[in-house]
Amino acid sequence: MKSLPEEIKLTFLIALLLVVLFVGFIIFIVLMYNRKQLLYLKEKQLKESEYQNHLLQKELETQKSIERERERISHDMHDDLGAGISALKLHAEFLKQKVEDGELKNDIDELLKTSEEMNISMREMLWSLNSGNDTLGSFVEYAQLYAHNFLKKSNIRLTAERENINTDMPVSTELRRNMFLCLKEALNNSYKHSKAENIELLFRQHGKEFVMKITDNGVGISPEKPEGNGLRNMKRRMQEQKGECRMSSSGKGTEVIFTASL
């Protein structure tokens, strides 16, 4: 009778040991499974990372190829088209010196004017194609230079300011070109219709937000006047760049504000 408790005790200890071994085995299996899952996830992440790196490398190669093509077109335009326009102007000036007919001289003057406009347009295209100009500083400097040259033969006084401009901030070619075309349209409208004496340019940056504002002190735009093609084109260009074009006008002038995310 005394040996029975010992047997029960031994049985209990064996059962407890088996339970402990079983639990340990289960824990071991779970740990091994988790380890395999972690290794699998790491391997999967590594493969995804390699795939993303491969895509990024291809994208970089594509971008480099596009930049090389842009540079080639830019050089070809400068060498071929630029030389052709210069030769055209030279011949026109030579003919103007020879002819005596007044009407013919006027026609030659128109030809010279057209060739000069073509030359300016070509320089603008070369600037937009040059990937070295894809910075905010380059855009602001070129915009100020264009505005100065555009208004220098008029009676309009130009003032330009910049606030918190990070000159090395990258700007896409598309945004840079569309912002410049909007600037041209706004200046042209002000020059033709505002009868302004002063035009102010403001370039301002808040983090990744860029603002370009053109303000004149002219006669303003009547609220009853329908929206013209110029304003619609400026709004469309900014919308395509996920930006905004806003205009406010009164009898004391007009203000056009362009906002874009860099």
CATH number, domain containing residue 142: 3.30.565.10
CA distance 18 to 102: 118
The answer to whether position 213 is within a domain reads yes
- pLDDT of 77 reads 63
Mean pLDDT of 164-178: 91
The answer to whether position 39 is within a domain reads no
Lowest-pLDDT range of 32-46, 113-127, 130-144: 113-127
- pLDDT of 81 reads 67
* pLDDT per position as a tens digit, 64-77: 777 777 677 766 66
Q: Output the DSSP codes for the chain.
A: -THHHHHHHHHHHHHHHHHHHHHHHHHHHHHHHHHHHHHHHHHHHHHHHHHHHHHHHHHHHHHHHHHHHHHHHHHHIIIIIHHHHHHHHHHHHHHHHH---HHHHHHHHHHHHHHHHHHHHHHHHHHHH-GGG-BHHHHHHHHHHHHHHHHTTSS-EEEEEEES--TT-B--HHHHHHHHHHHHHHHHHIIIII--SEEEEEEEEETTEEEEEEEE-S----TTSPPPHHHHHHHHHHHHTT-EEEEEEETTEEEEEEEEE-
The answer to whether position 196 is within a domain reads yes
Task: Please give the residue range of the domain that contains residue 216.
Answer: 134-262
Mean pLDDT of 224-231: 74
- pLDDT of 2 reads 47
* pLDDT per position as a tens digit, 81-136: 667 777 777 777 777 777 777 777 788 888 888 877 777 777 777 787 777 788 99
How much of the chain, in percent, has pLDDT values that exceed 90? 32
Give the number of domains in the chain: 1
pLDDT over threshold 50, residue 167: yes
Q: What is the mean pLDDT of the chain?
A: 83
The answer to whether position 30 is within a domain reads no
CA distance 207 to 225: 36
The answer to whether position 166 is within a domain reads yes
- pLDDT of 79 reads 63
pTM, full prediction:
0.64
Mean pLDDT of 232-256: 90
The answer to whether position 144 is within a domain reads yes
The answer to whether position 167 is within a domain reads yes
- pLDDT of 210 reads 96
* pLDDT per position as a tens digit, 11-24: 777 888 888 888 88
